[in-house]
Structure 1
Amino acid sequence: MAQSQGWVKRYFRAFCKGFFVAVPVAVTFLDRVACVARVEGASMQPSLNPGGSQSSDVVLLNHWKVRNFEVQRGDIVSLVNARKLAVQTTLIHR
């Protein structure tokens, strides 16, 4: 019985150590490097959401390009709609 409790205690400690390291690393990565966004609606058809408004595509947004001012014509960008700040809508445009 004591052996099984020791195993559980070691497992819990390892889980906590991993959790407290992984969460800050993941948050920093999503804030500084890249994040995942869902594209909904028909505004980006036929490139994204070719099946219509019922489906949604997922894109990876690169934060480094914006920080280094490397955005070029034809790139897809994401921004927060300033007119509807209470609703927090995100716009994705080319």
Structure 2
Amino acid sequence: MAPAQGWARRYFKAFCKGFFVAVPVAVTFLDRVACVARVEGASMQPSLNPGGSQSSDVVLLNHWKVRNLEVQRGDIVSLV
């Protein structure tokens, strides 16, 4: 029983260390660099969601270009 408990304890410690490093890194990345969003509805037809309300498109929202004021004519901007 002792080796099984030691293995579980090591696994749990490694998981916690990885979790407490990965979560802040992921949250910072999604907040500052880019995130993925789903577009539904007819508001952006025919560019996005050409099939109507039955389908949806997945887009990458680039926060980095907006923060550096690199938005150009023709870019799609999403407001939350």
**Pairwise same-fold verdict (TM > 0.5):** yes
Q: 5+ residue gaps in structure 1?
A: 81-94
Q: RMSD value over aligned CA atoms?
A: 0.9
CA positional deviation for 1:48: 1.2
User: Which residue of structure 1 lines up, in the alignment, with residue 63 of structure 2?
Assistant: 63
Q: Deviations over 1:44-82 (max 9, x none)?
A: 1122111111111111100111111111111111013xx
CA positional deviation for 1:14: 0.4
Segments of 4+ in structure 1 off by > 6 A? Answer: none
User: Which residue of structure 2 lines up, in the alignment, with residue 37 of structure 1?
Assistant: 37
CA positional deviation for 1:25: 0.3
Count, aligned residues: 80
CA positional deviation for 1:36: 1.1
User: Which residue of structure 2 lines up, in the alignment, with residue 21 of structure 1?
Assistant: 21
CA positional deviation for 1:8: 0.4
* CA distance in structure 2 between the aligned counterparts of 1:26 and 1:4, rounded to whole angstroms: 32
* CA distance in structure 1 between the aligned counterparts of 2:72 and 2:54, rounded to whole angstroms: 30
Moved more, 5-14 or 40-49: 40-49
Q: 5+ residue gaps in structure 2?
A: none
TM-score when normalising by structure 2 = 0.93
* CA distance in structure 2 between the aligned counterparts of 1:17 and 1:3, rounded to whole angstroms: 21
Q: Which fold has the larger relative contact order, with Cα–Cα distance below 8 Å and residues 6 or more apart in sequence?
A: 2
SS in structure 2 at match of 1:61: strand
Q: Deviations over 1:16-56 (max 9, x none)?
A: 00000000000000111011111111121122111111111
